[in-house]
Amino acid sequence: IILCSTACLARPYDPQKVEQVLNTAHALYKDTNAGANADYIPALAKVDSSLFAIAIVTADGQVFTQGDIDATFSIQSISKVFTLALAMEQQGSEAIVDKIGVNATGLPFNSVAAIELNQDRSVNPLVNAGAMATVSLLEGDKTQQKWQSIATWYDQFAGRELAVMNEVYQSESATNGHNLAIAELLKSYDRFYGDVDMNLDIYTRQCSVGVTTKDLAMMASVLANGGTHPVTGEALMTAENVQRVLAVMATAGLYETSGDWAFQVGLPAKSGVGGGIIAVMPGKFAIAAFSPKLDEAGNSVRAQRAIDYIADKANANVF
């Protein structure tokens, strides 16, 4: 099946064909066994690695789902996209360039070497260093106040109330030494903008937010629709900020394999070590996929394959 001869999924399209493409993607990759659950966060090692789900939300608010669509998993690094969006809306995009940076590291998401090698130190908002520094930039000087603004923001993107997965949060908090070291290092370079412990705690909570694959596609659909939620109609971001967030996703969303991804798939995307990935075809649709087993860079193997397959069938490539 080919869905459209040019990038499609904004009407007109045949919803039955979309269902069929999702079905085929799921059937093709459900037995792919490559990769392994993240195990540096103990709670993630325990997640059922057979889980596999795919969802699409179009820029006109149509929803398509396939697989283990009720499974809730932690959003992890995909949260970085939405916190970046909030920081940009609050502080303006120049603050992100000046205080965080927007270049790719070419190195793993928790690399200390990247901080030492790069003048910007935090490097970009989608690696751990830059993401923690982005949290530190947000308005609010009390944990509860800052956390509430992030939680409410995520809920607006999801179109429903999300909750922190307490077991993941506890597990991650108990094994957070590496992130603490990164945050302290940034602070020593004046590239962290508030209390280290408080902002690290908020970052850890944001990574532990529980989502379904449909929630992720819904959240990403705001980026596919120029900043307005296609289902709730709420205007959440300016169109300019959407473009800038997508640009950072395109260069750094899959860490050191972002170049391979751009070359192969051609859609701005973001992964998380919980096994989720979002990808955005601007003006058309968002795809989310989830399966826990990750490749060496920390990107879900099945989710990458499913999104690659669907993007190809929908003729979707921003380049």
Residues belonging to the binding site for substrate are 77, 128, 172, 179, 203, 255, 273
Edge to edge, the sheet with strand 269-271 lists: 63-67, 53-58, 285-290, 276-281, 269-271
- CA atoms within a 13 Å half-sphere pointing along the CA-CB vector of 28: 17
Q: Which is nearer to ligand DON, 146 or 229 (CB)?
A: 146
- Going residue by residue from 178 to 207, which x/- string records binding to ligand DON, judged by CB under 6 A? -x---------------------------x
CA distance 236 to 234: 6
User: 101 vs 298, which CB is nearer to ligand DON?
Assistant: 298
Give the pair of three-digit tokens for residue 312.
């190809």
Contact call for residue 291 and ligand DON (CB under 6 A): no
Site string for ligand DON, 153-172 (x = CB under 6 A): -------------------x
Residue list for the binding site: 77, 128, 172, 179, 203, 255, 273
Q: Can you tell me which of 298, 306, 310, 313 binds ligand DON, judged by CB under 6 A?
A: 298
CB of 168 to ligand DON, least distance (A): 9
Tell me the closest approach of the beta carbon of residue 41 to ligand DON, in angstroms. Answer: 7
Instruction: Give a three-class secondary structure readout of 34-100.
Output: CCECCCCCHHHHCCCCCCCEEEEEECCCCEEEEECCCCCEECHHHHHHHHHHHHHHHHCHHHHHHHC
- Distance of alpha carbon 319 from alpha carbon 317, whole angstroms: 5
How far apart are alpha carbons 245 and 280 in whole angstroms? 11
Residue 167 CB neighbours (<10 A)? 14
The distance of closest approach from Cβ of residue 203 to ligand DON in the complex, given in angstroms and rounded to an integer, is 7
Where does this chain touch ligand DON (CB under 6 A) — which range of 83-91, 138-146, 213-221, 271-279? Answer: 271-279
Q: What are phi and psi of 45, to 5 degrees?
A: -65, -25
* C-alpha–C-alpha distance, residues 238 and 47, integer Å: 37
Using CB under 6 A as the binding rule, the residues of this chain from 15 to 74 that contact ligand DON are none
From the list 182-190, 216-224, 265-273, 302-310, the region that binds ligand DON by CB under 6 A is: 265-273
Cβ neighbours of residue 95 closer than 8 Å, sequence gap 6 or more: 87, 88, 137
| From 109, 261, 290, 309, residue interacting with ligand DON (rule: CB under 6 A) | 109
- Which window, 3-11, 133-141, 218-226, 266-274, contacts ligand DON (CB under 6 A)? 266-274
289: left (phi over 0), alpha (psi -120 to 50) or beta: beta
Closest separation in Å from C-beta 266 to ligand DON: 20
Contacting positions for ligand DON (CB under 6 A): 76-77, 109-110, 128, 172, 179, 207, 271-273, 298
